[in-house]
Structure 1
């Protein structure tokens, strides 16, 4: 049963020092080879996933805006032929705000993409240089304007809690971002991920990450400023005007089916977890051998599915309805959550409960990982 389709394009011009996504730098990319591989991978999934129409498609990466618009068009045409589209299908493509990629925005829109997510990351040149980005602040603003002229909906990303960030400078940058007029912002705290260049730099003492308490203050400030401006947090890092939420990402967080194709792509298809080979060359080899890029396809038990649904759903501002999850997975509410821990976190004002719906407050989001480990039932965590 297909609800959403994710297509991973793994190639980038350069590897950002904070990035632990499945992205690779290659001098040459044979687009014909990749077109044929992605089409075959899509057809493999279509044969297994059923014919339900797609409500969203997301081109992620890597840097999908490096894809030729003709390739985007071909992949969308095949997806529509295999599944069909809902009348209001959301089709998102991640893009870097360079002038070279912005020049393709009109053609990408003509291929059918109606939403773009721009990796702006900062409105400050010094921050962009620190983050290893290839564009300048001015180039980013020009690309944003080009995107707003080309696409129905535009979102962009910002990263905060950089070394030296304080509330005054971050507040100013947030308010400048709001003036740019998009209805969706993704705002991520800088985290030092293992096996990244930043992790090496921190280990060598080349810079010191922002203190956890200072970062938490910036998280709180972000929520207050954007909520007051009419873009509340509908997920821990994502803010939108009502009606402009990412429908594709809501598919993940509401634990609905999605198909993932391309190197490293994950999927949840009809009770199975699917994972593709990460390295582009290994992915292409698997395609040649097996007709798909699958590395692993694993049946998920009911308890594991329920655990994933809770862990994903509690990231959302709307939270989860325990009665609905109980009916969905055939498990009692007490088998889903630790009621005593929910009561304890309610008293701490980290959780709110309205009947059978529980949601994490903004204060609770700051300690989300620790909170989830306590409130999700022990049997589910071990599943």
Structure 2
């Protein structure tokens, strides 16, 4: 998949009043993983767990086969996005993909790449056009897509590309893991740990903090967001004895955020930032690299944490787990994180409609 493929830029004309009554668009993710069955399970538990209406972009034949294999007794209805809300109570609404998907649970298949990407593309298009209120994505496996020529580091970066392609405006995505007791934001994301010091800059931290504070205010409804900024090195560098990055890169970024009126503190030692008393003092933690942010978030709430992409002209959430190829097709996957993602997407979409697009 090349970076240049796709439709011409188009602006969103979605009416907020219409968007508030539309279903969520859920992309199927990698069909060899647990995405198909957790989507079916989420629909199956729609009443017991107050799941908001959504439609699934998928291959209906695959969904029927996977539901049967996983022992899920569900009705499936093929719909258009506009029909999903009314159909949701009686059948899992599926908007069929043009690409067919091979049903190979646990065995990634590069032949599925076209369908995986089509589902993401169409979910974004539906959200920006007002046919869907937000985008929710089931997990993908990047290697499967890389093998088929996908030219992006991951889901987040591709969503930013789609946003720019549709709107003509550059998007700066920020990844957040949001759970009941902790929100974390990695400043650098899908890069090797050895590359982090070279990629980490004061301006990158400031921009990430600025977007985080804005979306916490405008989408999460937090009037004056408080940001805790982690140091890069052990003990936040301990006055330069364990690295100079915290004093030369992170501290100036915190000062820059404060100069913009953002309540930010740091650099803080990461090993003391995530206990209950510390968490009570901030609304989100800015972390310097991927695992510094994701380890505490997933440890505290693996089944409830949600991956949220900030900085986009549409709401996007996702489960905080991966494709789980090892248990795909066995009916033992848990849909909790997906259900949490669907609920948060509905909440954020409603907040965005009230506040306007960030």
Is the TM-score greater than 0.5? no
**Structure possessing the higher relative contact order (Cα contacts under 8 Å, 6 or more residues apart):** 2
What is the TM-score when the length of structure 2 is the normalising length?
0.29
In terms of fraction of residues, the more strand-rich structure is 1
What is the TM-score when the length of structure 1 is the normalising length?
0.28
